Amino acid sequence: MAGSAYPIEGIRVKETEKSTAAVLHGADIQTAGRADVWRVREKTRRRRLWRLVLTLGLFDGYLWYRYLTHNPFQLPALGPDWIIWAPVMVLIVAIVLMMAMPLFSGRSPHLVVRPEEIEVGLSEVKGLDNQADEVRRTLDVFLGYATFRNELGGNPRRGILFEGPPGTGKTYLAKAMAKQAGVPFLFISAPAFQSMWFGMTGSRIRSFFKRLRKLARKEGGAIGFIEEIDAIGGDRGGLNASPDATGLGRVASNMVSPGGTGMVNELLIQMQSFDQPPWRSRMRSRTIEWINGYLPPDKRIPAAKPAYSNILLIAATNRADQLDSALLRPGRFDRRLYFDVPTKHERRDLIDFFMDRKSHHVQLDDDAVRERLAHDTFGYTPVMLEHLFDESLLVALRNGRREMNLNDVHEAKLTEELGFKQPVVYTESDRVAVATHEAGHATVAYFLGKGRRLEVLSIIKRRMSLGLLAHGDEEERFTRTRTEIEAAIAIALGGLVAEEVFFGESGTGPASDLGGATSLAAQMVGSFGMAGSLVSYDAIAEGPIGSKNLVGRVLADADGKSRVEEILDAQKARIVALLEENRDVVIALRDALIARDELVGEEIVDTIEVALASRN
């Protein structure tokens, strides 16, 4: 009996994890619910046909009446003095149009996209597995809104907030939602709501939601998408103070919220007023109210309830922390979906998806090669991955080929991350100094960087860097130990120590290395609790007396600064001993760089292993 408890418990867990949409999926009630949207759409289509038949019938009857009464249509003719009145009329029309410009500015500048105009659906969305699943569940309830409300007593979601870094697929997934739902999709960027005319910004917001409700009544549902909602939905806090950057005791304050309270208030009202009835329903309600004023209480006509507008509002931002808190409460944005950079598995799916659509060499069809690419593109967003392959195709075209290969991808990746190669001619002394500096980095990384893979060692100038060592984790990692952080500091100081060991002094090259090493040491002291104290400098509140600069906080404290110096000095002493013991490895890497300018992948390791083997 004890052995059977585990599968039974597993079944219970699975049953608990089922969402509302999963319970409804495939059931009779869900099948009936998904017909709600199409039933409304068919009703709207029939109403349009009857309206067209009635209009054409009345016009045809009027034409027959004119024909039978011998009163045919005649073209209007201008009088003999029309040339005199024409300039005056043109001037009057121009004045009227100028006066009406603010009124025209109140129209919503949205773009209506029909489902058949959208190319991608949810089945084509790659790298967003969790978000796509949540969206599918939301759409199941959205399509079966009448069933969900009337038979289950639930309230469908009114809004979803997409938040996350740029390029992670927020707009892409919203378009796929509209394609999947089969309803009109209204797209607008939040800055487009703003108008030069006073009061017209709120009018544009009202016009957008009015159009959204109208389409929902006609089509059985409508999806609205507001891009960069932080432009109009910023926090309405009365005081925004920035820290003193000068040290003179001055604080800059903004007494008005950057988003403007009027726009936020109008957006809040409209999001809570989705069920505002159209003018016909309002006139009918007023007529019933007027009639009921003359009737006794027991004889009054019951007022009709406003029809539910099946609307789903989606907004996207990469600054969700600056949105007004009232926007994020249930009833407005009921769900917040965070779009993070893809995992390795999701990046592999994206690579397969893009490779199926782009010309490439058979070498890139190898499963191991694609797995390596998925690993090497850690931190890449879907947009960055697609751009990487587009740049790889450009590299191939420059080399006279019509398909990209693995070397083209590596070249494009280096160019995107580090910059273009700059054909700079070094003097002999500079060439030796840069090669020695980079060889010091690589030597320390080889001996101390456990679990790291040396990718590129170069003395070719890119951007502001005269040379570089590119290295990464052999496996995708999300955390770091103290030993690994100390190794990273040691690798950063390897170039400076190599110059001192071989030349007796260092030059200006290690400036950026010192900045990186100091930053890591400051995080060990002020954030990670790895330097003998558990006090976190991150706990200091931001505002007039706080700052986001953790390194500045640590170095401004005398005790924190001394701890940082102790860490850096300890690692420097460690590296001096390491490089003195392995001078032959540094020399071998230096000579290889001087001869070839750049070593890639196994070429670095092979050079080191040859140097080590020659000791025997």
Q: Is the pLDDT of residue 213 over 60?
A: yes
Question: Quick one: 491 and 398 in the same domain?
Answer: no
Question: Per-residue confidence at 238, pLDDT binned at 50, 70, 90?
Answer: very low
Question: Quick one: 265 and 362 in the same domain?
Answer: no
Furthest CA-CA distance within the chain: 119
- 292 found inside a domain: no
Selected residue with higher pLDDT from 351 and 297: 351
Cα three-residue angle 171-175-180, rounded to 5 degrees: 145
Domain final residue, candidates 287, 319, 340: 340
- Residue 391's pLDDT is 92
Question: Quick one: 375 and 336 in the same domain?
Answer: no
Q: How far apart are CA 307 and CA 94, in angstroms?
A: 42
Number of domains comprising the chain = 3
Beta-ladder partners of 241: 253
Question: Per-residue confidence at 242, pLDDT binned at 50, 70, 90?
Answer: very low
| Pairing label, strands 252-254, 111-113 | unpaired
- 84 found inside a domain: no
| Pairing label, strands 159-163, 335-338 | parallel
Write out pLDDT tens, residues 251-291. 444 444 444 567 777 887 877 755 566 777 778 888 888 88
Residue 480 in tokens: 């770091």
- 527 found inside a domain: yes
Kindly report whether the global pTM for this prediction surpasses the value 0.75.
Answer: no
Which helix (H) or strand (E) segment is 483 a member of?
helix 482-503
| Pairing label, strands 598-600, 452-458 | antiparallel
The answer to whether the CB of 517 falls within 8 A of the CB of 495 is no
Q: How far apart are CA 507 and CA 503, in angstroms?
A: 10
Selected residue with higher pLDDT from 276 and 472: 472
Write out pLDDT tens, residues 138-173. 887 777 777 777 777 777 778 888 988 888 888 888
CATH of residue 58's domain is 3.40.50.300
Mean pLDDT across 381-408: 91
Question: Quick one: 209 and 352 in the same domain?
Answer: no
Q: What is the mean pLDDT of the chain?
A: 79
Question: Quick one: 388 and 331 in the same domain?
Answer: no
Question: Quick one: 336 and 395 in the same domain?
Answer: no
Instruction: Determine what percent of the chain is predicted with pLDDT higher than 70.
Output: 86
Q: How far apart are CA 338 and CA 160, in angstroms?
A: 11
Question: Quick one: 310 and 351 in the same domain?
Answer: no
Per-residue DSSP letters for 518-535?
Answer: HHHHHHHHHTS--SS---
Question: Quick one: 329 and 196 in the same domain?
Answer: yes
Mean pLDDT across 336-348: 87
Question: Per-residue confidence at 24, pLDDT binned at 50, 70, 90?
Answer: very low
Residue 402: give the domain boundaries: 344-418
Q: Is the pLDDT of residue 37 over 80?
A: no
- Residue 570's pLDDT is 92
